[in-house]
Amino acid sequence: MHRIVVLGGGTGGTLAANRLRRALGTSEASVTVVDQDDRHVYQPGLLFVPFGLAHLDEIVRSRRRQLHRDIEYLQDPVDRVDIAERRVHLGSGQVLGYDVLVVASGAVLAPEETEGLTGTGWNEKAFTFYDPEGAVALAGALEWFAEGSLVVNVVEMPIKCPVAPLEFCFLADWFLQQQGVRDEVDLTYVTPLDGAFTKPVASRRLGGMLEERGIELVTEFNTGEVDYSGQRGRIVSYDDREVAFDLAVVIPVHNGAPYVARSPGLGDALGFVTVDDHTLQSSASPHVFALGDAAAVPTSKAGSVTHFEGEVLVENVRRFLDGRPLDASYDGHANCFIETGFSKAMLIDFNYDVEPLPGRFPGPVGLPLMKESHLNHLGKLLFQWLYWHSLLPGRDIPGVHSAMPAGGKDRGELSESEVSTS
Amino acid sequence: MTTDTIAGSEIQLDDEGFLVDPTQWNEDIAVELARREGIEPLTDRHWQVIRFMRSEYEEKGTGPTVRVLGKTSGVPIKELYQLFPKGPAKLAAKIAGIPKPRGCI
């Protein structure tokens, strides 16, 4: 009997465990999921909380209840993984041996790595919507915000869902108009990147959308400190540039789960698990795989990525247990709805090699790509239902597959040099 | 892509001025590339970062980000910005003759 241990009961751990449970009989393998609490947060929902468009009780459910009944669930923090001995040491002292370990413990926020993101001022003048408590606190502050500077700042990449801070800007523009105070508020987006987004076509399109809405864009800004000592707060960069604010929304730096750093060989300098980009097998041990935000692969940290990785990971765990060669087919596919306000959204679809392009998804008659539409907004809303009922149980979503579809994409907007590098 | 004579050698550079072939690099090239970026002279602290960039690239196939540099190179982030103003990871990679660090998306 094979022993499969999954660390993390979030998106990746839950869908991987459920898929593995269905793929392997109970006499073939045991599946155990470990997490430190029983709160499964639908993370895309956090974006809507500050605007009163979602409430925590709608987006938080039990982790345990999302798992197949033949999966063992242990609520216990992970102390460390001993790769050589193939053992997981839990906080309670319990030790789990494994034949396959799936690391799916996500990314954690590390506000303490930036001066000013802990203590006085934090959650008073500067907030984040990247955790449930922060999102609720921000809702309270936004409700009363009627004039001044609202600054949205990404401290450093990588972050979960790299489009979410832009979505926050678009929704803030909409929200402030609804409140009748948009003219009294300066909105500014401050990013360490050299444009609104990383890849040329999407960066131009999203940068244009900020401009249309009168949202100022400050680029190549590496936040070193958030300071509240004056009447207005200041975000200060390492090269001594400053942006003043009355209300700041800051996305702190992210690390992998702390136990990864306590497990020699498992992760990189930030605690993300080093795996092959295409098979998702650890470079440190063939018995270890990782998916989702926990994995150090060069694509977005996003739910869609985790979903697509899950299909490849489950296939590879089966092949590994059978002693067959792995399937190196994960292509970095990501697919994100970008909420743009006024009940519209835009869809982007890309992978390791192909940047986000206009066109339609998944084929020529599908949803419009890189274009705001009401249909995409409905798609984003529908997705929450699919998340709990299809994605987590590990069922396939019709028309949406692991490998990126190329059929509906239009390459006309790429300049010649971008075609060669994208 | 362009070809340029740097410190007496014919060097291929990409559109953003990064070396196409990291094996063409030597210390004289680093000095010249740094001078073009307004960094003169290269101090021991600069060299510590440049050598660290090259060893990371040789080991991992990509240069580290600023945050990783700050955690692992022995030079704190604040100082990295003094040594390589604006974008330390990008600039140090250019001078160290390795490709532009892979962007995160």
Q: Is the pLDDT of residue B14 over 50?
A: yes
**DSSP readout, A10-42?**
SHHHHHHHHHHHHHS-TTTEEEEEEESSSEEE-
Q: ipTM score here?
A: 0.77
Report d(CA A59, CA B9) in Å as an integer: 60
Number of domains present in the structure of chain B: 1
Residues of chain A under the 70 pLDDT cut: 413-422
User: Is some CB atom of chain B closer than 8 A to the CB atom of A156?
Assistant: yes
Q: Do B104 and A253 touch (CB under 8 A)?
A: no
> Which CA distances in Å does A225 have to A254, A366, B82?
16, 45, 16
DSSP β-ladder status, A60-62 and A39-41: antiparallel
pLDDT at site A421: 41
pLDDT at site B103: 57
- Kindly list the residues from chain A whose CB atom is less than 8 angstroms away from the CB atom of residue B102: 298
Report d(CA A421, CA A405) in Å as an integer: 19
Average pLDDT on B83-103 reads 88
pLDDT at site A416: 52
Report d(CA A292, CA A311) in Å as an integer: 12
> What CATH number is given to the structural domain containing B58?
1.10.10.370
The nearest alpha carbon in chain B to A238 belongs to B78
- B105 inside domain: no
Using CB atoms, which residue from B15, B78, B86 is nearest to A224? B78
B11 — pLDDT class (breaks 50, 70, 90): very high
- B63 inside domain: yes
CB burial class (10 A; 0-12, 13-18, 19+) of residue A120? exposed
pLDDT at site A422: 36
Beta strands in A67-184 (DSSP E): 72-75, 78-82, 87-90, 95-97, 100-103, 107-109, 126-127, 148-154
- B102 inside domain: no
The nearest alpha carbon in chain A to B70 belongs to A269
- B7 inside domain: yes
Range of the domain at B31: 2-96
Q: Which of B5, B10, B78, B104 is catalytic?
A: B104
Question: Strand, helix or coil at B48?
Answer: helix
Active site residue B3: no
pLDDT at site B105: 44
CA distance A280 to chain B (A): 16
pLDDT at site A418: 55
B101 — pLDDT class (breaks 50, 70, 90): confident
- B101 inside domain: no
- B103 inside domain: no
Q: Do B67 and A224 touch (CB under 8 A)?
A: no
Report d(CA A103, CA A293) in Å as an integer: 10
Beta strands in B14-74 (DSSP E): none
Report d(CA A106, CA B90) in Å as an integer: 27
Look at the block and give the residue holding tokens 């087919």.
A329
- B24 inside domain: yes
Average pLDDT on B66-73 reads 90
DSSP β-ladder status, B9-13 and B2-6: antiparallel
- B104 inside domain: no
pLDDT at site A318: 97
Q: ∠ at Cα A287 (B55, A36), nearest 5°?
A: 95
